[in-house]
Amino acid sequence: MGTNFSGQVAIVTGAASGLGFAIAKKLRAEGGDVALLDLNDAALQKAANEVGANATAFAIDLTKQDQVETAVAQIAERFGRIDILVNSAGVTGATNIKSHEVDPANLRFVFDVNFMASFFTARAVLPFMLKQNYGRILHIASVAGKEGNAGMLAYSASKAAVIGMTKVQGKEYAETGITVNALAPAVIQTPMVEVMPPEQVKYMTDKIPMKRCGTLDEIAHMAAFIVSPETGFTTGFTFDMTGGRATY
Catalytic residues: 155
Contact 210, 151 (CB under 8 A): no
Contact 122, 143 (CB under 8 A): no
First to last CA, the chain: 34
Contact 125, 169 (CB under 8 A): no
Q: Please give the Cα distance from 181 to 163 (Å, whole number).
A: 9
Widest pairwise Cα distance in the chain: 51
Q: Please give the Cα distance from 135 to 175 (Å, whole number).
A: 11
Residue 51 CB burial class (10 angstroms; 0-12, 13-18, ≥19):
buried
